[in-house]
Amino acid sequence: MPPRKVRTDPGDLDAQASSDEEPGRSSSVLMSGDQLTSFLTAFANTQAEANRQLVESLMASHAARGYTATPSPTPSSSTSKSGNMSKCTARFDGQNRDPEMVEAFIDSVEMYKECALVTDDLALRGLPMLLHGEAAVWWRGIRTEVSSWSEAVKRLRSMYGTPCPAHKLYRKIFANEQNEELADSFIVRLRGMITKLPYVLPEEAKLDIIYGLLHKRIRKRLPRDTVNTIESLIDKARDIEESITEHSNASTSSQSAPTETTQPPARCAQAGPRPPRAAAPCINSAGNGAMTRRSVVR
């Protein structure tokens, strides 16, 4: 005989499921908020201590191997670029052996080299671009013997800028007196000649030399004790020359202007010839007392 099926009530099944869940719930751990906070704090402290110990061990190992920390390059040093001599406009051909010409060329090149941040090596390599004619031929012959920029400048001065002795410079300076040259140009030229001396003169000595060579028209209007520097001498001498020029132009214009002259009135024309004056008595040259008459006509 087959077994009989037993019908179960849904309520009984829910009760059995709830009874099965009872043991699982009783096994979970409950923790308050304070306990959780203290646990997290302790965990963070433990992790920080572990990280500190790790960093110290790494630093100790690097120090034992001899590694040193290198500073990172600054933006200015990493981004700065050195220039070259391709855009320098100074030129020298060596035709004029005047030392002043080669000094002016060297000054121009040095100024461009400083402004364009050109290194000594690049300046030495770019120097042939600035030399022409005789100077270029001279450099082609000695370029294998020159290894630095300072040596190149020294060779250039010794070849084309032989300094003049002091006594010859003084003869050239005192042989120059201002004539028709403008005062400011004359003073600047003399100051350049004085700087070629192998020693430095005091400012008062330079002023005395330049002032004594100025034109008389400036010296009589500008006392020596009224100037203390060469720049003030240039300014005051220029002002005096401008006033002299204005005065001469004004006097020239006044002389060339037409002037009204008054002429005496013309005499009236006479109707006829003027009658002769009456004869005046005179004593005879014989001295005998005889009286003769002589007609005196105007």
The answer to whether residue 8 sits within a structural domain is: no
Residues 177 and 232 in one domain: yes
pLDDT in tens, 65-78: 765 555 444 444 43
Domain interval for residue 140: 99-160
Q: What is the pLDDT of residue 266?
A: 52
The long-range contacts involving 98-105, CB below 8 angstroms and separated by at least 24 positions, are 99/160, 99/161, 99/162, 99/163, 99/164, 99/196, 100/192, 100/196, 101/160, 102/156, 102/157, 102/160, 102/161, 103/157, 103/161, 105/130
At residue 84 the predicted structure's pLDDT band, cuts being 50, 70 and 90, is confident
- Measuring CA to CA, which residue among 215, 205, 210 is closest to residue 173? 210
The answer to whether residue 45 sits within a structural domain is: no
At residue 140 the predicted structure's pLDDT band, cuts being 50, 70 and 90, is very high
pLDDT in tens, 158-184: 888 777 788 988 998 999 899 888 999
Residues 132 and 108 in one domain: yes
Is residue 236's pLDDT more than 90?
A: yes
Section 6-13 average pLDDT: 52
What span, in angstroms and rounded, lies between the C-alpha atoms of 270 and 188? 75
From 216, 235, 250, the end of a domain falls on 250
At residue 40 the predicted structure's pLDDT band, cuts being 50, 70 and 90, is confident
Is residue 64's pLDDT more than 80?
A: no
How many structural domains is the chain composed of? 2
The answer to whether residue 194 sits within a structural domain is: yes
The answer to whether residue 24 sits within a structural domain is: no
The answer to whether residue 11 sits within a structural domain is: no
The answer to whether residue 181 sits within a structural domain is: yes
Residues 209 and 148 in one domain: no
Q: What is the pLDDT of residue 12?
A: 55
The answer to whether residue 239 sits within a structural domain is: yes
Better-scored residue on pLDDT, 54 or 269: 54
Residues 196 and 171 in one domain: yes
The answer to whether residue 116 sits within a structural domain is: yes
Section 216-244 average pLDDT: 92
